[in-house]
Amino acid sequence: MSANDAGAVVEVAHLDAHYGERQVLRDINLRVEPGEVMVIMGGSGSGKTTLLRHVLGLQRPTAGSIRVLGVDVVAAPRRAMQDMRKKIGVAFQSGALLSSLTVGGNVMLPLREHTKLDVDTMRIMMRLKLDFVDLAGTEDLMPAELSGGMIKRVALARAIIMDPRVVFLDEPSAGLDPVIAAGLDELILRLRATGVTLVVVTHELQSAFKIADRITVLDHGEILISDTVAAVRASSNERVQALLTRKVDLPEHNPDAFLTALTAASADLDGDS
């Protein structure tokens, strides 16, 4: 076992990120240990998908460092990044299946590109992974013929085809009905039982509490808490509790006051003219 094997699978330190002038991630520090399921939670626009994209090396941070399986994602040369990417699996929110390939072609793609296995062996491995995600017999279908839940499961099968050490899942149950979403949670738990490290980005509370070993809560680009499920539930942080209890903090709706303000503004405009 190398030194990297013993360390954290993902290590993010003092990460800052901007979209133009706007800061979207602020001093993010995160550590994912081998074999655990880390759920990154937060509302829409909290920065969780942006954080994932930075960890995967799809975007460059303004400041800070990111290491995945010991590789410095920000500064590593292309060859080191390629080697690291063979050891990770990623399932995107939309599935991101290549529309020109069949289900089987999509799942086999990493094997075809990175190994010298013969086609029959690749087919066997592809069928095993499709069976793992309960989609046996679908290898000849095209992505356009699949439902939303099936697309997510094929994406998961593709993500695990190379037997990766860590799997990243972006909103695995978003847009799915509760039954199918629960099925995906079961798949994630089944995957965890194989010893794979999982980093799951989601805004689904029920799903997060079901699958997580630890939860990181993001809000407005900042980490509010990163701890065990029990500690997150017991957190006294108001913003964490607001997220957990789905408390909505909207200003009070007062139609009369709005009408009065509108009339006053209109009168001002008439006076000016």
Q: Catalog residues that contact another protein under the rule CB under 8 A.
A: 53, 56-58, 79, 81-83, 85-86, 88, 90, 92-94, 96-99, 109-110, 113-114, 158
Minimum CB separation of residue 202 from another protein in Å reads: 17
Minimum CB separation of residue 87 from another protein in Å reads: 9
Q: Which residue's CB is nearer to another protein, number 163 or number 186? A: 163
Q: Name the CA radius of gyration of the chain, rounded.
A: 22
CA angle 3, 48, 20 (to 5 degrees): 105
Minimum CB separation of residue 224 from another protein in Å reads: 27
Minimum CB separation of residue 158 from another protein in Å reads: 8
Q: Which residue's CB is nearer to another protein, number 53 or number 220? A: 53
Q: Which residue's CB is nearer to another protein, number 65 or number 94? A: 94
Among candidates 194, 191, 156, 193, which has minimal Cα distance to 172? Answer: 156
The residue behind tokens 């900042």 is 222
Among candidates 144, 155, 234, 231, which has minimal Cα distance to 188? Answer: 155
C-alpha to C-alpha distances, 218 to 10, 47, 221, 225, 230, nearest whole angstrom: 17, 7, 6, 8, 17
Q: Which residue's CB is nearer to another protein, number 79 or number 246? A: 79
Q: Which residue's CB is nearer to another protein, number 98 or number 234? A: 98
Minimum CB separation of residue 53 from another protein in Å reads: 8
Phi, psi of 234 (to 5 degrees): -90, 0
- Residue 23: both structure tokens together: 């800061």
